[in-house]
C-alpha cells in the first residue's frame, strides 16, 4: 500500500497525521468550501426541503452551487457530488409533518456526479462558483443516463468531494476532501408533500414562474386570450439581460435569489426567508426531527448536530469521515449573507494497493459530457460490470448503499475509531471490507461514512 498524502487540518493534527504532512507535496490543509445561495437553501431547510425525483430525472432546486478556496492553483482536481441517506427510515407526510413510516428500503446503486469541468486546475475551480445545476435525481433504479438514484420518501444529504487527481483515472487514489452542508438535506419525493415547499419553489424557480399567484392566472388568461388574439402570441419578449456572472459561467443557472441582482425575484427571496424564519414551521413537528432524535440517542451525528443550533453559525463544515462533536475551529461564517465558509478539518489520506496500481482502469473515463455520473461496484470488479451505459465509455460502475455493507474503501475508518477525536483516521481509498465489524446500525453518520463512494477493491 502506498500512502499518497494527508489533508489533516492543522488544528486537529494527530501525531500520525503530522508525520504524513511532510510527504504532502501540496499542503492541502486549507481547502474551504462555501455553499452559494445558502440563504435560499436555509429558507427551504427550515420548512423541510423536498426534491422531486422522476423516472426521467429531475434537477434539484435549489441546485448545488459551491465555491472552493485553498486549492493549489496549478494542481488538478476532480469535484464530485453524491447523496448519502440521512438515516435508515422511510417517511410519510401526515398531518402537515413528516413522520417515520418504517425502515428504509435497500439503497439503490450509489452514483456519484462528477462535475463536467473535471478534472480542472485549482485556479479554475476557484475562479467562480461551481454549479451542479445539471445534476439530476431519479427514482428509476434501472436508469441508464447516469442520474443519481434515490428512493422516494427518504432523506438524503449531498456530499461534495474535492479530489486531487490529474484525471478521472486517478480519482480512485487521489487525495480528497469531503464537505457537507446541513441545510442541503432534503427528502426525495415524487410529488411535493408540503405545500409551503411548493410555494417556495414556485416563488424562486424561474421555470415555475407560470404558477406564481401574481402571474399564474393572469398569464394563463393571457394565454387563453392569446388564442383569440394571435398577435399577442407572436411577440414574446426576448430575454437579453443576462447577468454578467452568468455570462462568465455558462453553467450557472438563473437562480432567482442572487444577491447581486436587484430585481423583484431577489426581493421575493428576502420576503420568504424572513417569513420562514419568523414562522419557523418545522415539518418535523410532532415527530422529533430525526436528526435531533439521533442526537438524543447519543449517536455521533455531525450533520444533525448542526440543526440543533439555529442561526448561521450553526452550519458547520463537515468532513464525512470525522465525527467529532466539537465544532470546527476553522469553520466560520464569512460575513456574506448568502454564503458560508466551511473549512476542512481533518486528514484525508489515500492509499493505493499495489494490485490496483498495476491494473488498468478501463471503466473510468471522462465519458460523454451529458452523462457524468459514475457508478461504482461493491461486489464486482469494476471492469467486470457489464451493464451497458452510454457514459464512461460504456463501462458502468455500480455501488450500493447497503446497510449491511462493510466499511467503505472510501471512508476507511471503523465506527469505533471515530470515537477518538484526537486521532481521526485517515481516508483510505482502498480499504478492507474484512475489517468491518458486525452489528452496525444504520442510523448515524458514522455509518453513512461506510457507504462507498468508490468501492475500489471489488
Specify the stretch interacting with DNA by CB under 7 A; choose among 77-85, 150-158, 291-299, 425-433: 150-158
Residues 58 and 51: beta-carbon distance below 8 Å: yes
Residues 178 and 117: beta-carbon distance below 8 Å: no
For DNA, the closer CB: 220 or 280? 220
Question: By CB under 7 A, is residue 93 in contact with DNA?
Answer: yes
Specify the stretch interacting with DNA by CB under 7 A; choose among 41-49, 122-130, 192-200, 318-326: 192-200
For DNA, the closer CB: 195 or 296? 195
What CA–CA distance (Å, rounded) separates 86 from 91? 12
Question: By CB under 7 A, is residue 202 in contact with DNA?
Answer: yes
C-alpha cell at 313: 453559525
What CA–CA distance (Å, rounded) separates 407 from 420? 17
Question: By CB under 7 A, is residue 13 in contact with DNA?
Answer: no
At 314, give phi and psi (nearest 5°). -75, -15
As measured in angstroms, the least distance from the Cβ of 186 to DNA is 12
What CA–CA distance (Å, rounded) separates 368 from 349? 30
- What one-character DSSP code corresponds to residue 392? G
Specify the stretch interacting with DNA by CB under 7 A; choose among 23-31, 179-187, 237-245, 303-311: 237-245
Question: By CB under 7 A, is residue 270 in contact with DNA?
Answer: no
Q: How many residues bind DNA (CB under 7 A)?
A: 49
Buried-state track 314-353, b at ≥16 Cβ within 10 A, e below 16: bbbbbbbbbbbeebbebbbbeeeebbbbbbbbbbbbbbbb
What CA–CA distance (Å, rounded) separates 304 from 14? 25
Question: By CB under 7 A, is residue 141 in contact with DNA?
Answer: no
Judged by CB under 7 A, the residue of 30, 128, 198, 292 near DNA is: 198
Least Cα distance to 400 among 426, 428, 427, 380 occurs for: 380
Judged by CB under 7 A, the residue of 73, 210, 310, 384 near DNA is: 210
C-alpha cell at 243: 447577468
Judged by CB under 7 A, the residue of 15, 22, 74, 191 near DNA is: 191
For DNA, the closer CB: 105 or 166? 105
Binding site for DNA (CB under 7 A): 52, 54-55, 57-61, 92-94, 101, 134, 136, 139-140, 151-153, 189-193, 198, 201-202, 205-211, 215, 219-220, 223-224, 234-236, 238-240, 242, 250, 253-254
Amino acid at each position: 500500500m502506498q500512502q499518497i498524502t494527508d489533508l489533516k487540518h492543522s488544528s486537529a493534527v494527530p501525531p500520525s497525521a503530522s508525520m504524513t504532512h511532510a510527504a504532502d507535496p501540496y499542503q492541502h490543509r486549507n481547502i474551504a468550501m462555501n455553499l452559494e445561495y445558502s440563504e435560499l437553501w436555509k429558507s427551504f431547510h427550515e420548512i423541510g426541503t423536498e426534491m422531486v425525483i422522476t423516472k426521467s430525472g429531475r434537477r434539484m432546486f435549489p441546485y448545488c452551487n459551491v465555491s472552493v478556496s485553498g486549492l493549489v492553483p496549478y494542481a488538478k482536481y476532480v469535484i464530485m457530488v453524491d447523496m448519502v441517506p440521512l438515516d435508515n427510515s422511510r417517511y410519510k407526510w401526515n398531518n402537515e409533518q413528516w413522520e417515520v413510516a418504517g425502515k428504509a428500503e435497500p439503497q439503490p446503486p450509489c452514483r456519484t456526479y462528477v462535475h463536467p469541468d473535471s478534472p480542472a486546475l485549482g485556479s479554475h475551480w476557484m475562479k467562480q462558483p461551481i454549479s451542479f445545476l445539471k445534476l439530476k435525481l431519479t427514482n428509476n433504479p434501472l436508469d441508464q443516463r447516469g442520474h443519481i438514484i434515490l428512493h422516494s420518501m427518504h432523506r438524503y444529504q449531498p456530499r461534495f468531494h474535492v479530489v486531487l487527481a490529474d484525471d478521472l483515472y486517478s480519482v480512485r487514489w487521489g487525495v480528497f476532501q469531503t464537505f457537507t452542508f446541513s441545510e442541503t438535506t432534503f427528502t426525495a419525493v415524487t410529488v411535493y408533500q408540503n405545500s409551503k415547499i411548493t410555494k417556495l419553489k414556485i416563488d424562486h424557480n424561474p421555470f415555475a414562474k407560470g404558477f406564481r399567484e401574481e402571474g399564474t392566472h393572469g398569464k394563463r388568461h393571457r394565454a387563453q386570450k392569446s388564442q383569440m388574439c394571435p398577435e399577442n402570441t407572436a411577440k414574446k419578449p426576448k430575454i437579453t439581460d443576462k447577468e454578467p456572472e452568468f455570462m462568465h459561467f455558462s453553467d450557472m443557472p438563473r437562480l432567482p435569489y442572487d444577491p447581486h441582482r436587484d430585481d423583484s425575484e431577489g426581493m421575493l427571496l428576502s420576503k420568504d426567508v424572513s417569513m420562514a424564519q419568523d414562522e419557523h414551521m418545522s415539518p418535523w413537528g410532532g415527530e422529533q426531527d430525526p436528526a435531533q432524535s439521533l442526537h438524543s440517542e447519543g449517536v455521533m451525528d455531525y450533520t444533525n448536530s448542526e440543526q440543533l443550533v439555529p442561526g448561521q453559525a450553526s452550519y458547520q463544515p463537515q468532513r464525512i469521515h470525522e465525527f467529532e462533536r466539537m465544532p470546527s475551529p476553522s469553520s466560520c461564517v464569512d460575513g456574506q449573507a448568502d454564503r458560508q465558509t466551511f473549512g476542512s478539518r481533518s486528514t484525508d489520506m489515500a492509499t493505493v494497493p499495489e494490485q490496483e496500481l498495476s491494473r488498468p482502469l478501463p471503466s473510468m473515463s471522462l465519458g460523454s459530457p451529458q452523462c457524468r455520473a459514475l457508478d461504482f461496484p461493491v461486489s464486482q470488479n469494476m471492469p467486470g460490470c457489464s451493464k451497458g451505459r452510454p457514459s464512461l465509455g460504456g463501462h458502468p460502475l455500480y455501488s450500493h448503499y447497503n446497510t449491511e455493507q462493510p466499511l467503505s474503501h472510501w471512508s476507511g475508518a471503523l465506527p469505533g475509531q471515530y470515537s477518538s477525536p484526537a486521532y481521526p483516521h485517515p481516508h483510505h481509498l482502498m480499504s478492507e471490507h474484512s475489517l468491518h465489524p458486525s452489528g452496525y446500525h444504520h442510523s448515524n453518520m458514522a455509518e453513512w461514512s461506510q457507504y462507498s463512494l468508490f468501492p475500489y477493491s471489488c
